[in-house]
Amino acid sequence: MVLTAALSAMLVGGNCSKGGGDSDCAGDCDPSALFLSAIEVEQIAARAIAEADANNVEATIAIVDRVGNVLTVVRTNDTPPTFKIDGGRDVMTGLDGLTFPPSPIATQITSFAAISKAGTGAYLSSQGNAFSTRTASQIIQENFNPGEDFRGGGPLFGVQFSQLPCGDFVRNMGTDAARGPKRLPLGFSADPGGLPLYKGGVPVGGIGVESNGIYSADLVITDVDTNVEERIATAGTLGTTTSFAAPSNRRAERISVDGRTFRFADDEDVRSTVAEAEALIPLGGALVRTVGGFFDKNDGDFQVGQALLSPASGIEHDDASFTDASLNPIPVEFYSDGAGGNVFAPSDSSVPLPSGGGLTSTEVMSLLQEALRIATRARGQIRKPEGSSARVNFSVVDTAGTLLGFIRSLDAPIFGADVSLQKARTAVFFSRTDAASNLENADDPDFANLVLPGAFLPASAYLAAAQGFFDNVAPGDVLTDGTAFSDRAGGNLSRPFFPDGINGRANGPLSRPFDEWSPFSTGLQLDVSADGIFRALTAMDPLIPNQCTPGPELNGIKNGFQIFPGSVPIYRDTQLIGGIGISGDGVDQDDMIAFLGVHNTAGINNAPPDMRADNITAQGVHLRFVSCPPKPFLDSNEQNVCEGK
b/e 134-151 (16+ beta carbons within 10 angstroms → b): bbbbbbbbbbbbbeeeeb
DSSP state string for 228-286 = HHHHHHHHHHH-SSS--PPPTTTBGGG-EETTEE----S-------HHHHHTTPSP-TT
d(CA 527, CA 561): 10
* Cα angle: 533, vertex 536, 541; to 5 degrees: 155
Report the b/e string of 154-180 with b at 16+ CB within 10 A. Answer: bbbbbbbbbbbbbbbbbbbbeebebbb
Nearest by Cα to 433 from 393, 484, 489: 484
User: Does residue 156 contact residue 423 with C-beta atoms inside 8 Å?
Assistant: no
Selected from 3.30.450.150, 3.40.50.720, 1.10.4100.10, 3.60.15.10, the CATH number assigned to the domain covering 314-432+565-616 reads 3.30.450.150
Q: How far is CA 262 from the centre of its chain?
A: 17
User: Residue ranges per domain, the chain?
Assistant: 36-300, 314-432+565-616, 435-557
- Per-residue confidence (pLDDT) for residue 1, from 0 to 100: 30
The alpha helices in 340-434, defined as continuous H runs, are 361-377, 415-431
- Model confidence pTM above 0.95: yes
Fold match, 36-300 / 314-432+565-616: yes
The reported pLDDT for the residue numbered 539 is 76
What is the rounded CA–CA span in Å between residue 194 and residue 191? 8
Asked if residues 567 and 584 have their Cβ atoms less than 8 Å apart, the reply is no
Report mean pLDDT in 10-residue bins for the chain, 645 residues. Answer: 48 64 93 96 97 96 97 90 94 95 93 97 98 98 95 97 96 87 97 98 98 96 96 98 97 93 97 97 84 77 93 94 92 93 95 80 98 97 94 98 98 98 98 98 95 96 98 98 98 97 97 97 98 85 74 94 98 97 96 98 98 97 96 95 95
Using alpha carbons only, what angle is made at residue 53 by residues 52 and 55, rounded to the nearest 5 degrees?
A: 65
C-beta separation of 13 from 28 below 8 A: no
**Per-residue pLDDT at 174:** 80
pLDDT number for residue 489: 98
Give the per-residue pLDDT at 482: 98
- In sign, the C-alpha dihedral spanning 66, 188, 373, 246 is negative
Q: CA 432 to CA 441: how far, in whole Å?
A: 15
Please give the backbone phi and psi of residue 485, each rounded to the nearest 5 degrees, phi first: -110, 125
As a whole number of angstroms, the distance between CA 12 and CA 7 comes to: 9
Q: Under CATH, which number does the domain 36-300 receive?
A: 3.30.450.150
Task: Name the burial class of residue 552, with classes exposed (0-12), middle (13-18) and buried (19+) by CB atoms within 10 angstroms of its CB.
Answer: exposed
> Are 105 and 180 within 8 A, CB to CB?
no
DSSP annotation of 553 reads G
| CB within 8 Å of 169: residues ≥ 6 apart | 403, 417, 418, 421, 558, 559
Query: SS3 for 295-318, per residue?
Result: EECCCCCCCCCCCCCCHHHCEEEE
Helix/strand/coil for 341: coil
